[in-house]
Amino acid sequence: MISTNDFKTGVSVEIDGDAYIVVEFQHVKPGKGSAFVRAKLRNTRTGAVIERTFNAGEKLPKAHLDRREMQYLYHDGTYYVFMDNENYEQSLLSEEQIADSKNFLKENMNLSILFFKGEIIGVDLPGQVELEVVDTEPGIKGDTASGGNKPATLETGAVVRVPFFINTGDRIRVNTKTGEYIERC
């Protein structure tokens, strides 16, 4: 059991038989009345975000999410195919299960797959990935002084904002949580 006072971003709880991950939370102590916790929770099965209000100190069962190391193999048009690194079994994940992670999936990449009660509920990408820029406008001499940025298409199809000095063919590091450029490799 986990108390609502212990909520942190990323904590998983079980509500009505489904696993939810805390996206946002706020402890509120009004001038009159008792304290409460307002939280935004993402359903791991459907991806829907709900808002719930809990009494301060209310106990909820903790959702035990299992992580298994798997390798992303390919996308066949309908499903994303992953291989278990231990027993070499392949698993198919739909686009709904992958969600926004598809923007940073690269073939042969190792990552964690999340399981809840034996069912695959999603992927857990590393904090940052290294990808190649396949299309961006060339930087013009003198543009770097302004400190602006421009859009760049990556090898996975994702579009991120990069500094003017980045060119097509460069390898860059991208934050998978925010989708922001970190550095050139």
Starting at the edge strand found earlier in the chain, the sheet holding 49-55 runs: 12-15, 18-28, 36-43, 49-55
Which pLDDT score, from 0 to 100, does residue 140 have? 67
What pLDDT tens digit does each residue of the chain (185 aa) get? Answer: 999 999 998 889 999 988 998 989 999 999 888 999 999 998 887 778 899 999 999 999 999 888 899 999 999 988 999 999 999 999 998 887 787 788 899 999 999 888 888 888 888 888 899 999 999 988 766 655 566 788 999 998 899 999 888 899 999 999 988 889 999 98
Query: Tokens at residue 116, please?
Result: 């809840």
Q: Give burial (CB, 10 Å; 0-12/13-18/19+) of 83.
A: middle
Query: Tokens at residue 67, please?
Result: 């992580």
Spell out the residues 6+ positions from residue 26 whose beta carbon is closer than 8 angstroms to its own.
37, 38, 39
| d(C-alpha 59, C-alpha 107), whole Å | 41
**HSE-up of residue 33 (Cα within 13 Å, Cβ side):** 7
| d(C-alpha 50, C-alpha 52), whole Å | 6
- Other Cβ atoms closer than 10 A to 9: 11
Domains and CATH numbers, the chain: 2-60 (2.30.30.30), 66-124 (2.40.50.140), 129-184 (2.40.50.140)
Which pLDDT score, from 0 to 100, does residue 143 have? 58
| d(C-alpha 136, C-alpha 161), whole Å | 10
pTM score: 0.70
Phi, psi values for residue 71, rounded to 5° = -115, 130
Taking a C-beta distance cutoff of 8 angstroms, is the pair 84, 70 a contact?
yes
